[in-house]
Amino acid sequence: MNIDILTLFPEMFNGPFNNSIIKRAREKNLVQIETYNIRDFSRNKHRTVDDTPYGGGAGMVMGVEPIFEAIDRIKDKYNGSTARIVLMCPQGLTFNQTLAKEFAQEEHLVFICGHYEGIDERVRENLVTDEISIGDFVLTGGEIPVMAIVDAIIRLIPGVLGDLASAEEDSFYDGLLDYPHYTRPREYRGNNVPEVLLSGHHENIYKWRKRQSLLRTLVKRPDLLESKDFTTEEIKILKEIYEDLKKLLDI
Ligand code: 4G0
């Protein structure tokens, strides 16, 4: 996969994209990431990329020319790429794992990191295919959202995580929260590891984990269950949870 990022601060990406799993994915050529400094596409003497808004008002607006020319450069490089062009902004569609999976199927993605109070509307009208947000809050720029989204996408590219890890994840908690994890020691300051995990009984362990995932999701994020397709096994465990609760609450 090719990922191109338009930003005023390319150095910001050095840390996140040159460490750990993303670093390894790049070394293995599973993903090529390139940053472009929007300022390099400014044609004026002071290399500015923003200007005062038509119609007046406070603040500055990111201009059209540098962004169009940067996109031209990228399209040339891939000789007329049909890449999705994603603008990071708080008004966008909220990013989630479903979108991460969708983007992970693409061969080429372009991200535009906006700044200032706004961006000339003609960028949206002519270039942008997707407006994406990472949540209902405002940051100083789109860089940190791009880091988060690119990380979420890259870990889904085949070969980036261990095949075992990714396959397990897909089947086990599709739309559920993770179950609790423990490692040695089996007792720490009076806190014990659940007995079932020490039993070596794989079927019981599997069922305990599934139940924990379902319980956690029910308690912490019930909204996730509304759009989930339950397996027959999950429905069985949910009914057991329901019966246990009835007994507990005497109803
Ligand atoms: C306001 C994304 C702010 C408008 C970007 C960009 C938060 C997010 C910014 C724009 C951001 C998020 C119109 C490009 C930059 N803050 N929640 N700040 N435009 O994902």
pLDDT averaged per 10 residues, the chain (length 251): 98 98 98 98 96 96 98 95 94 96 98 89 98 97 98 97 75 87 98 98 98 97 95 96 97 95
User: For strand 50-51 and strand 108-113, is the pairing parallel, antiparallel, or unpaired?
Assistant: unpaired
Q: Which domain holds residue 205?
A: 187-249
- pLDDT at residue 170, rounded to an integer: 67
- pLDDT at residue 49, rounded to an integer: 97
In a domain, 25, yes or no: yes
Whether 55 and 96 map to the same domain: the answer is yes
Q: Is 49 in the pocket of ligand 1 (CB under 6 A)?
A: no
Tell which atom from ligand 1 comes closest to the C-alpha of 140: 18
The count of residues in the chain is 251
Tell which atom from ligand 1 comes closest to the C-alpha of 132: 20
DSSP string, 5-49: EEES-GGGGHHHHTSHHHHHHHHTTS-EEEEEEGGGG--STT---
Beta bridge partners of 188: 191
In a domain, 99, yes or no: yes
Whether 136 and 194 map to the same domain: the answer is no
- pLDDT at residue 236, rounded to an integer: 97
CA torsion 134→136→142→145, rounded to 10°? -20
Whether 50 and 158 map to the same domain: the answer is yes
Report how far ligand 1's centroid is from the alpha carbon of 143 (Å).
9
- pLDDT at residue 40, rounded to an integer: 98
Report how far ligand 1's centroid is from the alpha carbon of 52 (Å).
18
Whether 129 and 31 map to the same domain: the answer is yes
Whether 208 and 140 map to the same domain: the answer is no
Whether 49 and 143 map to the same domain: the answer is yes
Q: Does an H or E element contain 102, and which?
A: helix 97-104
Q: Is 89 in the pocket of ligand 1 (CB under 6 A)?
A: yes
Is pTM beyond 0.85? Reply is: yes
Task: Name the residues annotated as catalytic.
Answer: 90, 117, 155, 170
Whether 132 and 196 map to the same domain: the answer is no
Q: Is 60 in the pocket of ligand 1 (CB under 6 A)?
A: no
Whether 10 and 125 map to the same domain: the answer is yes
Give the count of alpha carbons within 13 A of 232, CB side only. 0
Whether 204 and 90 map to the same domain: the answer is no
Domain stops at, among 107, 128, 162 = 162
- pLDDT at residue 107, rounded to an integer: 97
Q: Is 62 in the pocket of ligand 1 (CB under 6 A)?
A: no
Residue 221 CB neighbour total at 10 angstroms: 12
Whether 118 and 195 map to the same domain: the answer is no
Domain count within the chain? 2
Q: Does an H or E element contain 224, and which?
A: helix 223-226
